[in-house]
Amino acid sequence: MQHNSRSRSSAKGMKIEAIDLFCGIGGLTYGLRQANIKVLAGLDNDYSCKFAYEKNNLNKFIHADVSDYDFSELVSLYSNDSIRVLVGCAPCQPFSTHTHKIKKIENDPRWSLIDYFVKAVRKLDPHIISMENVRGITKTDVFRKFIASITDAGYQVDHKILYCPDYGIPQNRSRLVLLGSKLGQICVPEKTHEQEEYVTVADIIKQLPEIKAGEVSANDPIHKSKNLEPINIERIIQSKPKGTWRDWDKKLLPSCYKKNSGKTYASVYGRMTWDEVSPTITTQFFNYGSGRFGHPQQDRALSVREGALLQTFPHEYDFGELTSLSQTGRHIGNAVPPRLGFVIGKSILEHLENTL
């Protein structure tokens, strides 16, 4: 996707304006802007996201915690004659598939972030709402109450678990996408790619310059990989694409894999493969031991640039100076893939064109 500098979107000449809650570094905002929806501002409690959000999206970053924020301050940002859109992706850790106990999920205080999204909806009274989140949230009372609240507020709602490769995103990732409208029935996006059209790891990163573990590309400071301990270099040399730690010499096995309880974690320390999609890009994608994040061919983990590209951030997206792999990796891993934001934006425009 190429950067689009137009400040005004058009669906039958309508002015459409959005605000992005829990915006992070702006993946969702960027995608909406590529769909030609003007985003007025993003709000997040993580100040370290401010530079990347504002630099790449040319709009306002509001540093605030939703738990004590007066959303009425946002009302004045919308034009009087605009179609108001409110989008957001509340931090999803409580609902992750890595969390196994439903009771623990329900009692996690972070689930209340969904309630604050409802609070914002009531204050701002947008015409259109969209929420993106992990699929695990749909199994909770939190989500059922959320649906009831926005339905009571007058929204017609559609939601679905989307498989990201069906939408041109090159990673094995499934996400909940919810859309609501006060203007009529709205539908989640139809898939844009058949299986034979899936974007692969090779399509995205194979052309990048070769680097070694711990090195940075001379021409791209974001194309940097984490250093590996000697034992991990030995492990990745013996790792095969789509293989497991079972391919290694026994002397290389971590102690946990020598126990029955650890034998199911086959993808940890794994290599990706060129001709398939990548695993889900998490906040730890630059760590070889945190999943199947080994480069398909080179003896290292993914670089920061590779993780960003697999998240569908364009090469020109400016993440700022790479002073911390951990911070930038967290920014990228927590982001909504811009491509998904683009697909959501196009679905909103199609709804407006068909409804108004």
From 23, 49, 89, 92, the catalytic residue: 92
Outline where DSSP puts E strands in the chain.
16-21, 38-44, 60-63, 83-88, 128-134, 156-163, 171-172, 174-181, 216-217, 220-224, 278-279
Output DSSP code: residue 21: E
Q: Are 237 and 299 in contact (CB under 8 A)?
A: yes
DSSP 3-state assignment of 148?
helix
Region of residue 168 (left: phi > 0; alpha: psi -120 to 50; beta: else): left
Between CA 200 and CA 42 the distance in angstroms is: 31
CB 176 within 8 A of CB 132: yes
CA 202 to each of CA 57, 113, 247, 277: distance values in angstroms, whole numbers, following the listed order = 28, 37, 23, 9
| 92 has catalytic annotation | yes
- The DSSP 8-state label assigned to residue 88 in this structure reads E
How many whole angstroms separate alpha carbon 169 and alpha carbon 199? 7
Q: Helical H runs in 108-251?
A: 112-124, 141-152, 201-205, 230-237
Active-site residue set: 92
